[in-house]
Structure 1
């Protein structure tokens, strides 16, 4: 990518200033001059005298500091993704960049970006092709790959940028192309860039952008696909660009494209549907552009609609409607009335806010939130505030690092004086006093950390409290689930369709898709990954098929045991915040191996009513006979009782949230359903045993791999004899890796609910682990395999430094549907036997009956069951 650098002394023309504001990021050499109110992400060079925290809090995206600055304390206390380290080569003789790239490789572990200050000769040397087999990749490309291996967060992987040392005027399109081909970004002085007619002796901005990004096309006409989106990033349509149209767009600040029929196409010049260009970006593969625009009426499409892909939805649609009502309200419009009566609008906002605050049922919360958003958007429109303005305010708030306490204003919460609790009435420790009391999520900018306890300092009751999981109000959950189950039992498909529209936002005409499925095309890499995982999981589960057994218990008496597949099974594959084809594999493969005649898979549909392609492909591979397009309790009820289109099953397996679990428990306990389940389930959990041989980065990554599942996920670390420095290293890795995760908001909630228990020996660690009975147990020690024999309770064990839990989740072969909440003390994870039942038989010869007859008749007489005795006696008489 191209990152323009702006210095205080520069005088930039208005056209160039506007064009630079369209790029994703800009760099200011003086932090005090940085304009943080614009669209681009703003980077700025800072020094020890700058109040970096205040700058970041005001909206600065990234602070740039020299890597040779020994005092980095003044840039601490915030997300490291917002720090960039600048490295300068020690000498121009360092043509192969070995010195600077070694230093920067360390830097990518400390910051979100590294900037290399290089000469033109060093750039050329760093990007020249070499014999990779003999010498390894070019240093710059190697550094980029090292950066890309870092944990990806909201800002993407660690970035590598290159700045030209000495005079920036030395930049050429060829040098920019070299940097781009290595995967790095180029920092270019804005003074050497130009747009429109102001390009004499300068690099034209569009051409520089194309070169620095390595923008290319695989089309024969060389045109680049350009996705056009509005300010909310909703797609309006697709157009094409080339160097000429991109230069014209940047120069004019309008939507300008290249028409395959008309050539240069200035959108809207004849129809009036012009576009103000808001942003320009390049996709990750550098073969497509994205134009973010402010679209004028009647819209982008030639059919005079806003989008070529149908009307807007949700908040975007609401914002459009409210804006239209302000100008062209029909007779009797309630929205128009609100515009004209500010007192009524205020009263409705206060009223709806109170109703939302009091709502508890999920459906009611959604309903009341929608009402409040409507009145809030009317308020915004009345004051000339657009949805884009609101989103920009949210983005600026996201950048803040100084957090207010967030307490309610006086009077917002009614004061309730409380009498002090007598000391005698306080128990020594309650079940939740250690696990839950006073625990809150880590705020953005705060350290994300486990609570730490020492086993030597805990009382027996405190240790027992750590063994407990968070309390769940099962009665309240059952109260919510039972009406859903009853509705599906009574009204079948109609209830499932209504509930799916309510909870998943999908309007559908049918509930079930039956085999054979219309499997969409998947990327080759995804298909290959699923195929490999399928092969491994099938190999492991096929080995579990039991052999029939037979034994002659006494002469003439032969007893046998043989297995048969459960005929009809239901597999629940969760949806929600993640796509889970792995769960479809882990449930479908053992059912297929067992030989189940009917495999019904249930999964929440996407908003358009379709099924996630990856899940659909897995369903095809495992031989599913039907897919139920529903999630939650309604899907469980449909499979348990059957509907007009959903086949009734004999057993239901699969993970889910607390409502899914409650529905499974209800169905299992209802004799009308005649259905069994695999196991009860709770939130995901992991327990890692680590000693001095453990790698802190590995330990942190394993803990976070489960913590990101949900706010109630449990992450537990048993630290065996670790020093203070070793503990600090693990804590630092947890915070650093967590901050870069896309699901960091979930991790901020779940990690503080977990804990680290410091123990003195492996024996103590394993004793606690067996008592805790974790879903996933990881032994991170050099001698891990020696301790497997001591494991009594665990869902699945991951042995050694190179056995991350993720492998078991996806592809090693073992199953990832495991008992949680301590249930591994009495339940196994899903396996081939889950889908089998075992039948016994006995066959007696004449001699066999004669040999055993007296024993049977005597016991029948003791129990006074004469018919039992007679069934033997009547045969014995014939013998």
Structure 2
């Protein structure tokens, strides 16, 4: 990188000036400076001048190991450090005319108490033949002094107290003017060519733009990407598109006629074509990181990457496996292949813990800054493990037996599995809305992602279904559907499971049968005018039964039974297949009970698309039901708005959620169990505890119970993620708790209250309510009778849960007698003529005229 134009010395902590100075990439700081005030991307040199106590070699070493690029030292401290530390990391400070530079110094800070002309600087450079920093202490900083030194490649040290973000005065220089002082342009319009590079992606070039002095000034002071458009003037990147930029660093090239903006790019990307760069998409590690980040937020159901994120033990095993294979590889192509695998799994681990490639680069930079090194031998457990492995291999070779595998050391105890806590009374209104948001992506972003999948199935039918099922579910299909009769072998279950399903079927059937509209509704609105409404089943329905992280025969019951009760003629049940292409026997058995006429062996957006548009073998349906992950929800929302599909959906159901309200009577173990019953669904699930005036001890008991119970459950790794995204909200009264719940509009609401039945009257928004300590949400999920397909993401404000009426449409009719038309007709004519619809009025007039002739 070219040397900086100015090197600000931090002798004041004025926040705005310090932030702007940090964007120039390098600061000079005193030993007492609080380094936490600097962004990680800003380099720094420590100035340990004679005004400070003389540092020891150990202290200088600690500064360099701690991340300082260099340390400025006066004699004799410089002499002592130079004897044992790298010359390029030390700067000798001396005052011209009073002290001389050391011949072995590679860098010097030349301090002068009188103005130094350009010729004198040049002469000193020739004599010194090293890098020079200039600090003219005889006068305040000026544009002229900077322009004098810049062509010689000599950065000017300027105290921060002499810089300002405001207008230049006799005592203070605007920091943008200081930076721009030597920058030149050979263009008639004075614009400066500017290269924009992506800071987190290893400096990948995003595009080429132009800057004006005003745009650079605004970018430097605000920290936002601001450039100059030759058509529109100042161009604040992302102002309309949302693809904004945070400026990390602004530097000039070696000739000071071109700028580089190093930025963190947000949104779709830099280019107007919504690509990350004007020079194409990202590749290599940067592209892999972007893909893994997207997959971590919304991995396709059944994908291998989703398994890695949800199963830390699998990820750990793969990292160790690939590291071993890399160590044993010999050929260059094999080494490259195994190194790529190791990088993939290592980066998956990093992304799962919120660590970016830039974080890794910073760590590498910090390690590179260190001037002390440990011996570097392998830790004893690896030396012993390798020795034992080699010995066991030799023994196995000698006797023909397999070498035993020594189990690894136990994992260290994890940090507590706990939720984030808020006191509702102290949360400002501006932040309260954020508490109501679920940990999901924006629907428009997910719709854009799922659209290519939907389009493939819409255009290519069964062929696309086979390819996508092989890709996402790792299952090779010969036939994408199963038609009844279903074989007994495909429904073979343990008797206790079959009996439990039968009980659940009877209960759910009884409750949903009672909901059906069996007789027409008739009302005589006035003499001779009878209006009626009657129900008819939706002819063909599609039922989506998730398969992802759990087999869900209960969902097949909850969707299939109301469809059966309503009398739907064709019931298409879609669910992801197992690796061998079969469907779980639990779902197959339920499909038989509810009279499914077709089973589609597909999941995700591809299953939704197949049911919405139909394929060569999959019937097109009129309405799609069922919960699912964000991909399923986005696909349902997409197809319902496509007039080509002509399909309705039940609701935009997303990841599962529960809100528990607990007062002083609540059993901590019960509350914890209820929270975890939903947290185990997936990493994107959310649970909320609203604590009503609980003592700190009571709340702590609940939190400890959550941690303890979660660790005893097999899906603990999923719950670690979902619980960390979940909330504890403390309130004073039950009414406050219910008000918050109504704002949140939960899928499941559980009332652990002294008067739980009395609280139900205040519930306005919820999918389903579980009243009292002995009404766990699990009962509603499986067998009590209510439906568990419920609105999530706050849609309980607008939607009901799935019920029998969801599978029926209601048709109205009216029958008007001659006498009735005589009374009603004049009213209709008046209203039709009022709206200017004379043909409507005429339809009545001709009839009244005929009646008049009788």
- For normalisation by structure 1, the TM-score amounts to 0.53
Change (3 A) 1:733 1:606: same
Change (3 A) 1:359 1:762: closer
Equivalence for 1:671: 643
Q: 1:341 aligns with which of 330, 336, 356?
A: 330
TM-superposed deviation, 1:781:
1.7
TM-superposed deviation, 1:630:
0.7
The correspondence of residues 192-207 of structure 1 with structure 2, limited to 5 A, is none
The correspondence of residues 684-723 of structure 1 with structure 2, limited to 5 A, is 684-723=656-695
TM-superposed deviation, 1:680:
0.7
Segments ≥4 residues shifted beyond 6 Å: 337-340, 355-360, 383-386, 388-391
TM-superposed deviation, 1:832:
0.5
Equivalence for 1:396: 408
Equivalence for 1:730: 702
Change (3 A) 1:488 1:358: farther
Is the Cα–Cα contact under 8 Å of residues 424 and 731 in structure 2 kept in the other structure?
Answer: yes
The correspondence of residues 544-623 of structure 1 with structure 2, limited to 5 A, is 544-546=515-517, 547-623=519-595
In structure 1, distance between residues paired with 2:334 and 2:433? 54
> Aligned to 1:847, what secondary structure does the other structure show?
helix
Equivalence for 1:540: 511
2:796 is aligned with 1:828: no
Equivalence for 2:425: 456
Is the Cα–Cα contact under 8 Å of residues 338 and 345 in structure 1 kept in the other structure?
Answer: no
Equivalence for 2:23: none
> Aligned to 1:396, what secondary structure does the other structure show?
coil
In structure 2, distance between residues paired with 1:826 and 1:584? 24
TM-superposed deviation, 1:389:
11
Is the Cα–Cα contact under 8 Å of residues 690 and 737 in structure 2 kept in the other structure?
Answer: yes
Change (3 A) 1:820 1:526: same
TM-superposed deviation, 1:694:
0.8
Is the Cα–Cα contact under 8 Å of residues 749 and 769 in structure 2 kept in the other structure?
Answer: yes
Q: 1:750 aligns with which of 718, 722, 739?
A: 722
Is the Cα–Cα contact under 8 Å of residues 477 and 581 in structure 2 kept in the other structure?
Answer: yes
> Aligned to 2:408, what secondary structure does the other structure show?
helix
TM-superposed deviation, 1:359:
9.6
> Aligned to 1:828, what secondary structure does the other structure show?
coil
Equivalence for 2:150: none
The correspondence of residues 236-635 of structure 1 with structure 2, limited to 5 A, is 341-354=330-343, 396=408, 399-401=410-412, 444-519=413-488, 520-546=491-517, 547-635=519-607
TM-superposed deviation, 1:729:
1.3
2:750 is aligned with 1:778: yes
> Aligned to 1:534, what secondary structure does the other structure show?
helix
TM-superposed deviation, 1:454:
1.8
The correspondence of residues 115-154 of structure 1 with structure 2, limited to 5 A, is none
Q: 2:832 aligns with which of 860, 868, 879?
A: 860
> Aligned to 1:602, what secondary structure does the other structure show?
strand
In structure 1, distance between residues paired with 2:333 and 2:804? 64
How big is the alpha-carbon RMSD for the aligned residues of Structure 1 and Structure 2? 3.1
In structure 2, distance between residues paired with 1:708 and 1:554? 57
Equivalence for 1:111: none
Is the Cα–Cα contact under 8 Å of residues 440 and 630 in structure 2 kept in the other structure?
Answer: no
2:813 is aligned with 1:841: yes
Is the Cα–Cα contact under 8 Å of residues 575 and 600 in structure 2 kept in the other structure?
Answer: yes
Is the Cα–Cα contact under 8 Å of residues 439 and 686 in structure 2 kept in the other structure?
Answer: no
In structure 1, distance between residues paired with 2:740 and 2:806? 28
TM-superposed deviation, 1:796:
0.4
Give CA deviations for 1:310-342 in whole Å, capped at 9, x if unaligned.
Answer: xxxx99xx9xxx9xxx9xxxxxxxx9x997834
Change (3 A) 1:853 1:358: same
TM-superposed deviation, 1:735:
1.1
TM-superposed deviation, 1:793:
0.3
Equivalence for 1:211: none
In structure 2, distance between residues paired with 1:784 and 1:618? 34
TM-superposed deviation, 1:469:
1.9
In structure 2, distance between residues paired with 1:876 and 1:350? 88
In structure 2, distance between residues paired with 1:760 and 1:359? 43
Change (3 A) 1:489 1:557: same
In structure 2, distance between residues paired with 1:390 and 1:625? 53
Change (3 A) 1:487 1:344: closer
Is the Cα–Cα contact under 8 Å of residues 538 and 593 in structure 1 kept in the other structure?
Answer: yes
> Aligned to 1:735, what secondary structure does the other structure show?
helix
Change (3 A) 1:338 1:354: closer
The correspondence of residues 39-78 of structure 1 with structure 2, limited to 5 A, is none
TM-superposed deviation, 1:507:
0.9
In structure 1, distance between residues paired with 2:500 and 2:630? 30
Structure with larger Rg: 2
Equivalence for 2:104: none
Give CA deviations for 1:333-370 in whole Å, capped at 9, x if unaligned.
Answer: xx9x997834443333334555677899x9xxxxxxxx
In structure 2, distance between residues paired with 1:771 and 1:389? 62
> Aligned to 1:680, what secondary structure does the other structure show?
coil
Give CA deviations for 1:822-871 in whole Å, capped at 9, x if unaligned.
Answer: 10000011001110100000001111111111111111212222221111
In structure 2, distance between residues paired with 1:625 and 1:806? 29
Change (3 A) 1:718 1:672: same
Give CA deviations for 1:198-238 in whole Å, capped at 9, x if unaligned.
Answer: xxxxxxxxxxxxxxxxxxxxxxxxxxxxxxxxxxxxxxxxx
Change (3 A) 1:392 1:576: farther
Is the Cα–Cα contact under 8 Å of residues 512 and 804 in structure 2 kept in the other structure?
Answer: yes
In structure 2, distance between residues paired with 1:745 and 1:633? 26
TM-superposed deviation, 1:805:
0.4
In structure 1, distance between residues paired with 2:656 and 2:784? 19
Which stretches in structure 2 are left out of the alignment for 5+ residues? 1-313, 352-385, 394-400
Which stretches in structure 1 are left out of the alignment for 5+ residues? 1-313, 327-334, 363-379, 402-443
In structure 1, distance between residues paired with 2:575 and 2:535? 29
In structure 1, distance between residues paired with 2:555 and 2:528? 48
Equivalence for 1:799: 771
Equivalence for 1:274: none
Give CA deviations for 1:595-616 in whole Å, capped at 9, x if unaligned.
Answer: 1011010011111111100000
Is the Cα–Cα contact under 8 Å of residues 782 and 801 in structure 1 kept in the other structure?
Answer: no
In structure 2, distance between residues paired with 1:455 and 1:641? 47
> Would you say how many aligned residue pairs link Structure 1 and Structure 2?
487
The correspondence of residues 89-168 of structure 1 with structure 2, limited to 5 A, is none
TM-superposed deviation, 1:462:
2.8
TM-superposed deviation, 1:733:
0.8
In structure 2, distance between residues paired with 1:765 and 1:514? 49
In structure 1, distance between residues paired with 2:844 and 2:755? 60
TM-superposed deviation, 1:580:
0.5
Is the Cα–Cα contact under 8 Å of residues 640 and 650 in structure 1 kept in the other structure?
Answer: yes
Is the Cα–Cα contact under 8 Å of residues 549 and 681 in structure 2 kept in the other structure?
Answer: no
> Aligned to 1:842, what secondary structure does the other structure show?
strand
TM-superposed deviation, 1:736:
0.8
In structure 1, distance between residues paired with 2:541 and 2:446? 25
Is the Cα–Cα contact under 8 Å of residues 329 and 335 in structure 2 kept in the other structure?
Answer: no
In structure 1, distance between residues paired with 2:445 and 2:403? 37
In structure 2, distance between residues paired with 1:503 and 1:878? 68
TM-superposed deviation, 1:594:
0.7
Give CA deviations for 1:500-551 in whole Å, capped at 9, x if unaligned.
Answer: 1111111111011111211332111001100000000011111111242111
In structure 1, distance between residues paired with 2:402 and 2:826? 91
Is the Cα–Cα contact under 8 Å of residues 559 and 843 in structure 1 kept in the other structure?
Answer: yes
Equivalence for 2:738: 766
Change (3 A) 1:696 1:356: closer
> Aligned to 2:820, what secondary structure does the other structure show?
helix
